[in-house]
Amino acid sequence: ARKGHIAFYNGAETVYLDDVTTEAELRAIFEATAPTSEGDVYLFFGEVERSKRPELTEIVAGGLPWLAPVRVGDGWALYRYQVPPEG
């Protein structure tokens, strides 16, 4: 997301998403980021992201079992990556 200051003020790291067009590509980014992160990995998706990344809107809007909504507002949402259980 373009909200790098949110991570900064929370002592977290900002990771910018490549141009992804599939769920597998998006998940690969989270899987690569999560093991190196000091804490949880989040995705902020707001109105600007929806307008500039419509392909992501379609992927995320369908609901993903490994991306849990933390907070949803009018035109925005914050999701937390959940490592899938092994097995």
The answer, yes or no, to whether residue 3 has pLDDT greater than 70, is no
- pTM comes to 0.78
Cβ-based neighbour number of residue 79 at 10 Å? 20
pLDDT score for 1:
46
- What separation, in Å, do the N-terminal and C-terminal C-alpha atoms of the chain show? 31
Report how far residue 20's alpha carbon sits from residue 12's, in angstroms, rounded to the nearest whole number.
23
Highest mean pLDDT pick, 30-39, 57-66, 68-77, 78-87: 68-77
